[in-house]
C-alpha cells in the first residue's frame, strides 16, 4: 500500500475549543479524520467542526454515550476503526479530544514511512491479579453509571475476590494462554487494523462486562497473532504522564519536556487549565 495516507480516529467528550485546535492541526491533504462525539457532549456541533477543515475529509460516526471503564469505549474504537478501514489508509491513529501532536505532519508521515508496517502500541504481559481481574470476573457497568467513581472503584475488587471464591473465571473461555495490557492509544498499519476490525464480535463476547478492557483487548490480540513480531520497540509514541496525574494535564512548566521528546503525540491538555502550553506546542509544530 504505502500511499502515505493516514486516518485519525478521535474520541471526544469535552473541551470543544481544544478539539477545534486538534482538528485544525491534523488538517492535511494526506489525512482524513473520523470522529465520535460523545452523546453527552453538546458544546459543539458537527457543522461547526466541518467548517474547520480545508484539506482533510471529516467523517462522523453515530453518537452514543461513552462510560468510563466500560465496553462502550471499546465499541466506539471498533466503530471508528471499521469505518476508517474502508478507506485503506497506511496508518490509523487513535487520539482523544484532549490530545495534540507534538510534531509536524511532515515529520509524522516521514516517521511512519521509515517504520512502515510496524505496530505502535504499548504492551506489557499481564502478571498481576489486579490486571487479570479486569477480564476474569464480571464487572457491572450499571454500577459505574449510578455510583460515584470513587465508590465503584472501592467495591470493585472485593466483588472480584468474591467471584474468585465462587470459582468464577471468564478467562477459561478465552482461547489465549497469555494476556497483555497497556495504553488504549495506538498507531497501527492497515493489515493489522483490518485484523482487529474483524474481531469485533470476538471481543464483545470475551471482553464485555469487564473493567478497562480497552487497555487489554488489542494488546492481547496483537501478541497472540502473526503480527506480534511487528510490534515496535518504540511502544506507542505517546507522551502521557501517569505519575503526576490520571493522567497529568500539561502546563507551560513542562514545555521543554514536550518539545524535546521523541514522542509524536501527547495527552492531556486543557484550555481551561493552561492555554499557554497549547499555543506554544502548536506554534512549535507550525514553525
- State residue 97's pLDDT score: 97
Q: Would you say 214 and 77 are in contact if contact means Cβ atoms under 8 Å apart?
A: yes
Residue 266 exposure: Cα atoms within 13 Å on the Cβ side:
24
- State residue 129's pLDDT score: 83
Angle, alpha carbons 71-222-196 (nearest 5°): 55
Q: What burial class does residue 235 get, using C-beta atoms within 10 Å of its C-beta: 0-12 exposed, 13-18 middle, 19+ buried?
A: middle
Indicate whether this model's pTM tops 0.85.
yes
Q: Would you say 245 and 132 are in contact if contact means Cβ atoms under 8 Å apart?
A: no
Hunting for cell 502521557 — which residue is that?
Answer: 240
- State residue 199's pLDDT score: 97
The residues near 90 (Cβ < 8 Å, ≥ 6 apart) are 1, 2, 3, 4, 5, 6, 112, 116, 189, 190
In what order do the strands lie in the sheet containing 100-101? 100-101, 265-266, 238-239
Q: What domains sit in the chain, N to C, each tagged with a CATH number?
A: 6-125+177-286 (3.90.550)
Residue 276 exposure: Cα atoms within 13 Å on the Cβ side:
5
Closest listed residue to residue 164, CA positions, set 125, 208, 141, 132: 132
- State residue 213's pLDDT score: 87
Residue 23 exposure: Cα atoms within 13 Å on the Cβ side:
28
pLDDT string in tens for the chain (287-residue length): 557 899 999 999 999 999 999 999 999 999 999 999 999 888 888 989 999 999 999 999 999 999 877 889 999 999 999 999 999 999 999 999 999 999 999 999 999 999 999 999 999 999 998 888 888 877 776 555 666 666 666 677 787 777 777 777 787 888 899 999 999 999 999 999 999 999 999 999 988 887 888 999 999 999 999 999 999 999 999 999 999 999 999 999 999 999 999 999 999 999 999 999 999 999 999 87
Amino acid at each position: 500500500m504505502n500511499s502515505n495516507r493516514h486516518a485519525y480516529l478521535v474520541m471526544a467528550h469535552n473541551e470543544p475549543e481544544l478539539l477545534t485546535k486538534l482538528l485544525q492541526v491534523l488538517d492535511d491533504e494526506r489525512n482524513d479524520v473520523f470522529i465520535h462525539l460523545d452523546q453527552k457532549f453538546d458544546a459543539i456541533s458537527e457543522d461547526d467542526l466541518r467548517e474547520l477543515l480545508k484539506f482533510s475529509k471529516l467523517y462522523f460516526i453515530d453518537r452514543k454515550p461513552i462510560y468510563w471503564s466500560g465496553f462502550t469505549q471499546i465499541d466506539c474504537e471498533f466503530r471508528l476503526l471499521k469505518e476508517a478501514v474502508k478507506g485503506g489508509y497506511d496508518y490509523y491513529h487513535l487520539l482523544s479530544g484532549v490530545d495534540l501532536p507534538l510534531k509536524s505532519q511532515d515529520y509524522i508521515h516521514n516517521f511512519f514511512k521509515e517504520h512502515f508496517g510496524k505496530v505502535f502500541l504499548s504492551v506489557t504481559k499481564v502478571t498481576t491479579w489486579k490486571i487479570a481481574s479486569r477480564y476474569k470476573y464480571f464487572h457491572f457497568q450499571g454500577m459505574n453509571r449510578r455510583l460515584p467513581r470513587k465508590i465503584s472503584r472501592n467495591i470493585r475488587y472485593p466483588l472480584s475476590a468474591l467471584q474468585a471464591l465462587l470459582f468464577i473465571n471468564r478467562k477459561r473461555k478465552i482461547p489465549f494462554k497469555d494476556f497483555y495490557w497497556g495504553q488504549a492509544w495506538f498507531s497501527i498499519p492497515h493489515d493489522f487494523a483490518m485484523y482487529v476490525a474483524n474481531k469485533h464480535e470476538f471481543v464483545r463476547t470475551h471482553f464485555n462486562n469487564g473493567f478497562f478492557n480497552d487497555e487489554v483487548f488489542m494488546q492481547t490480540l496483537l501478541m497472540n497473532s502473526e503480527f506480534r513480531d511487528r510490534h515496535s520497540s518504540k511502544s506507542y509514541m505517546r507522551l502521557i504522564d501517569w505519575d503526576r496525574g490520571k493522567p497529568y494535564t500539561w502546563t507551560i512548566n513542562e514545555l521543554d519536556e514536550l518539545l524535546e521528546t521523541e514522542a509524536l503525540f501527547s495527552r492531556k491538555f486543557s484550555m481551561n487549565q493552561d492555554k499557554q502550553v497549547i499555543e506554544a506546542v502548536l506554534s512549535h509544530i507550525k514553525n
